């Protein structure tokens, strides 16, 4: 290893930036840090759900140059062409070759709509800001049609191999509230279908109960165990032989890895194989894959932060065994706030792998009081607070999970969740 170890981070999203900022906080200039990204800004993706309802994409982007230069982290714009772990090099598409002592692969996930015949042609996806902006136009037309007395049907669809449908649930529930406020709800039929046997199945019975209750209260027709087989113009077909008509189809397509890495072991969808606690590639201990690029089956920002923290600690221990007393392992606990416009649901869910194909994860058997779910208008303030806190940290080049600001945020969230959470899991 060089006198000043080089940590090369591929990706400028949640996991990549959290890893880099955490390592800088610990080592400052004793470690050389480089981030490779194909975008010169960070997108606060959880809040892109507001774009269809008038939200501004620009307010959700953080230019990377200033916070990275402030922490003396090199920014290398470009796309990854190849990783050669044996020589510890990364080739970019423009011919640039970068060498590393430690490699953090945090290039995230992408969507593959073509896995469901007709989905790409007939559905509005919600993966990119551009797609969400297109959906804004569709919703405006939907509202105007309903106001004019023309009945419309909206179908929400979660197909197999989707790794986290939470944002689609938010948009469905927000749409109900928005239509009511626009005096157009009576003219719109909302239907939800998911391949899973429970709503937000990975997060256990409490989230399923919340969604069931909300769907019933709001008149949203919900269907589980509904596995789509194909989509045609105005109609979705399912493996049980049923069909459902629509005027607007909104879907969260199947996930795949955003970048293919032939030189590294991965699953059939391109997600890199990692050791659970460290997110390290088993055959290449200097390579890590936190966040959506790795094989943890639930793809979510808070889980990406926890994985990045585990990666940063493991690298820190390898660079300097005296740098920290006890490296933090990745202990999967999801934390999220589900927006509905009139209220929100908070969920803190300790997870464990099942070893089965479905469900791949479940609420941890020893979750106890750490498993919390609660619904209240106050949680909308919690979501807004997180939406202010994270950009503030990243704009300053600070990690999400460290320092006094996070301690204060954590105390506030813990106090709210204890007060507003429902009873023990059944």
Check residue 422 and give its pLDDT. 62
Do 224 and 355 reside in the same domain of the chain? no
Do 291 and 395 reside in the same domain of the chain? yes
Residue 212: which CATH number?
A: 3.50.50.60
In a domain, 425, yes or no: no
Do 285 and 310 reside in the same domain of the chain? yes
In a domain, 1, yes or no: no
Check residue 323 and give its pLDDT. 80
Domain boundary among 207, 224, 254: 254
- Centroid of chain to Cα 78: 23
Do 415 and 316 reside in the same domain of the chain? yes
pLDDT beneath 70: ranges in the chain:
1-2, 422-426
Name the residue range of residue 117's domain: 113-254
In a domain, 426, yes or no: no
In a domain, 226, yes or no: yes
Domain boundary among 197, 230, 254: 254
Do 64 and 161 reside in the same domain of the chain? no
Compute the distance between CA of residue 154 and CA of residue 176 in angstroms, rounded to an integer.
11
Tokens of 239: 């493996």
pLDDT digit string (tens) for 114-140? 999 999 999 999 999 999 999 999 999
Check residue 421 and give its pLDDT. 76
Check residue 406 and give its pLDDT. 79
Do 39 and 102 reside in the same domain of the chain? yes
pTM of the predicted model, to two decimals?
A: 0.95
Number of domains the chain is built from = 2
Do 98 and 119 reside in the same domain of the chain? no
Do 397 and 277 reside in the same domain of the chain? yes
């Amino acid at each position: 290893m060089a006198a000043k170890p080089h940590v090369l981070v591929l990706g400028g999203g949640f996991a990549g930036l959290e890893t880099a900022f955490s390592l800088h906080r610990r080592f400052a200039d004793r470690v050389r840090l480089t981030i490779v990204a194909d975008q010169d800004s960070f997108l606060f993706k959880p809040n892109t759900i507001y774009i269809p309802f008038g939200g501004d994409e620009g307010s959700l982007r953080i230019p990377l140059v200033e916070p990275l230069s402030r922490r003396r982290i090199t920014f290398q714009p470009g796309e990854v062409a190849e990783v050669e772990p044996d020589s510890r090099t990364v080739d970019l598409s423009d011919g640039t070759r970068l060498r590393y002592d430690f490699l953090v692969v945090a290039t995230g996930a992408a969507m593959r709509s073509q896995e469901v015949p007709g989905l790409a042609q007939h559905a509005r996806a919600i993966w990119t800001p551009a797609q969400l902006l297109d959906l804004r136009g569709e919703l405006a037309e939907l509202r105007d049609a309903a106001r004019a007395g023309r009945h419309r049907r909206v179908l929400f669809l979660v197909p197999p191999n989707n790794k986290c449908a939470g944002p689609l649930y938010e948009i469905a529930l927000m749409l109900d509230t928005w239509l009511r406020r626009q005096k157009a709800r009576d003219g719109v039929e909302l239907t939800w279908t998911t391949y899973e046997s429970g709503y937000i199945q990975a997060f256990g019975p409490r989230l399923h109960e919340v969604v069931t209750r909300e769907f019933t209260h709001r008149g949203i027709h919900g269907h589980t165990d509904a596995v789509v087989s194909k989509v045609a113009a105005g109609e979705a077909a399912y493996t049980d032989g049923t069909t459902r008509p629509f005027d607007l189809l909104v879907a969260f397509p199947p996930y795949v890895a955003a970048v293919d890495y032939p030189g590294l072991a991965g699953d059939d969808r391109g997600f890199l194989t990692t050791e659970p606690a460290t997110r390290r590639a088993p055959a290449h201990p200097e390579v890590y894959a936190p966040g959506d690029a790795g094989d943890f089956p639930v793809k979510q920002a808070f889980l990406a932060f926890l994985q990045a923290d585990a990666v940063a600690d493991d690298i820190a221990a390898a660079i300097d065994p005296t740098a920290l007393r006890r490296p933090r392992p990745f202990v999967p606990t999801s934390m999220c706030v589900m927006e509905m416009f009139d209220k929100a649901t908070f969920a803190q869910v300790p997870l464990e792998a099942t070893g089965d194909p479905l469900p791949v994860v479940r609420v941890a058997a020893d979750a106890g009081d750490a498993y919390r779910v609660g619904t209240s208008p106050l949680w909308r303030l919690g979501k807004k607070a997180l939406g202010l806190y994270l950009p503030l940290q990243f704009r300053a080049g600070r990690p999400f999970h460290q320092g006094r600001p996070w301690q204060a945020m954590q105390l506030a969230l813990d106090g709210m969740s204890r007060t507003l959470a429902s009873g023990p899991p059944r």
